[in-house]
């Protein structure tokens, strides 16, 4: 599903001493099946922007259009749309509450009044998609590891069969192994399910590894929206906004000090090694 923001603005606590413009006249289109990384300094408007996609927030001015539908103009259409937009908040495992993994994942589909057989199929498929073994189905989610609990929470959203998936810091608090497993799972899931995915993250290596586009927000406005290579090649501009760059970009900068000049739009160690081998006589030990 495509997402179009048209002159969107959002003001918190208008006409009060605490009035704050969080989103400022945003016009932007996110195409079908895109995997968008959303980055920006704290207070840049990232979360406020995505909360408009299923009308958790309503525009102060402007429109949000999903597949040509103005979602704030038709309440019935909005109700149907919300079934197609999955929102995974930061630390979603804190929202688990059922006594078994199976019941927690089934909660959303049950609310859709689906037949028991369909619910069972969706639970099984969602568990498989997020990498949960069948034997954990009857266990309490609170007996599982942090990474597994997060997968249960994500499976509960996936079981709703969303066409748009919004992830807010999906790897926050996970150990390196859990983070890598989560990223691999998200990559496979996006490829298989062909959803439009928007991921908020402050881990630039994750953004570089997963996303087809990167949206940079600053002071309520989108200031860059492009492919990861083109975005992270603008390291100085990102630094001026208080943002980091991927580890590989930092390595390229360090290699420059040794007179090894590598294009800044390279994002993987494999590409760095290949470039050094090709352009510096096969010596990739630097």
Q: What is the mean pLDDT of the chain?
A: 90
C-alpha to C-alpha distance for 199 and 89, rounded to whole angstroms: 10
* pLDDT at 281 (0 to 100): 67
Residue 284 in any domain: the answer is yes
Judge contact between 98 and 41, C-beta under 8 A.
no
* CB within 8 Å of 274: residues ≥ 6 apart: none
Residue 5 in any domain: the answer is no
C-alpha to C-alpha distance for 62 and 59, rounded to whole angstroms: 6
Residue 130 in any domain: the answer is no
Q: Which residue has the higher pLDDT, 48 or 78?
A: 48
Residue 285 pLDDT class (50, 70, 90 cuts): very low
C-alpha to C-alpha distance for 257 and 273, rounded to whole angstroms: 17
What's the pTM?
Answer: 0.88
* pLDDT at 249 (0 to 100): 83
* pLDDT at 268 (0 to 100): 74
Quote the percentage of the chain above a pLDDT of 70. 98
Give me the mean pLDDT over the 139-158 stretch: 93
Please state which of the ranges 19-28, 48-57, 254-263 shows the lowest mean pLDDT.
Answer: 254-263
How many degrees, rounded to 5, is the angle at CA 203 between CA 208 and CA 267? 25
Judging by beta carbons within 10 Å of its beta carbon (0-12, 13-18, 19+), is residue 180 exposed, middle or buried? Answer: middle
Residue 125 in any domain: the answer is no
* pLDDT at 138 (0 to 100): 95
Closest CA to 108 of 99, 124, 119: 119
- Residue 275 belongs to domain spanning: 246-286
Residue 162 in any domain: the answer is no
* pLDDT tops 50 at residue 284: no
The count of structural domains within the chain is 1
Residue 47 in any domain: the answer is no
The tens digit of pLDDT for each residue in 233-255 reads 898 899 899 998 888 888 887 88
Residue 129 in any domain: the answer is no
Judge contact between 166 and 50, C-beta under 8 A.
yes
Residue 256 in any domain: the answer is yes
Residue 79 pLDDT class (50, 70, 90 cuts): confident
Chain mean position to CA 112 = 25
* pLDDT tops 50 at residue 286: no
- Other beta carbons less than 10 A from residue 91's beta carbon: 16
Longest dimension (CA), the chain: 66
Judge contact between 263 and 232, C-beta under 8 A.
no
User: Dihedral sign, CA of 56, 54, 169, 110?
Assistant: positive
User: Dihedral sign, CA of 106, 112, 118, 121?
Assistant: negative
Residue 204 pLDDT class (50, 70, 90 cuts): very high
Residue 116 pLDDT class (50, 70, 90 cuts): very high
Give me the mean pLDDT over the 57-82 stretch: 86
* pLDDT at 272 (0 to 100): 80
Q: Give me the residue label for tokens 């999903």.
A: 66
C-alpha to C-alpha distance for 137 and 200, rounded to whole angstroms: 29
């Amino acid at each position: 599903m495509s997402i179009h923001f048209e002159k969107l603005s959002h003001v918190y606590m208008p006409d009060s001493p605490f009035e704050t413009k969080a989103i400022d006249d945003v016009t932007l289109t996110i195409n079908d099946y895109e995997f968008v990384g959303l980055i920006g300094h704290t207070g840049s408007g990232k979360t406020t922007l995505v909360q408009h996609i299923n009308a958790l927030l309503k525009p102060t001015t402007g429109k949000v259009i999903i597949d040509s539908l103005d979602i704030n103009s038709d309440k019935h259409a909005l109700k149907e749309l919300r079934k197609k937009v999955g929102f995974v908040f930061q630390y979603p495992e804190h929202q688990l509450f059922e006594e078994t993994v199976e019941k927690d994942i089934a909660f959303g589909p049950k609310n859709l009044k689906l037949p028991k057989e369909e619910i069972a199929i969706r639970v099984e498929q969602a568990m498989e998609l997020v990498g949960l073994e069948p034997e954990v189905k009857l266990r309490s989610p609170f007996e599982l590891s942090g990474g597994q609990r997060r997968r249960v929470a994500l499976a509960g959203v996936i079981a709703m069969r969303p066409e748009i998936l919004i992830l807010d810091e999906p790897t926050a608090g996970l150990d390196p192994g859990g983070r890598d497993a989560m990223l691999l799972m998200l990559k496979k899931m996006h490829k298989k399910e062909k959803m439009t995915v928007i991921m908020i993250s402050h881990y630039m290596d994750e953004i570089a590894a997963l996303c087809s586009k990167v949206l940079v927000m600053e002071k309520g406005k989108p200031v860059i929206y492009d492919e990861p290579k083109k975005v992270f090649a603008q390291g100085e501009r990102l630094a001026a906004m208080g943002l980091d760059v991927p580890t590989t970009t930092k390595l390229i900068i360090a290699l420059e000090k040794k007179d090894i000049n590598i294009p800044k739009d390279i994002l993987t160690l494999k590409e760095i090694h290949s470039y050094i081998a090709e352009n510096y006589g096969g010596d990739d030990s630097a």
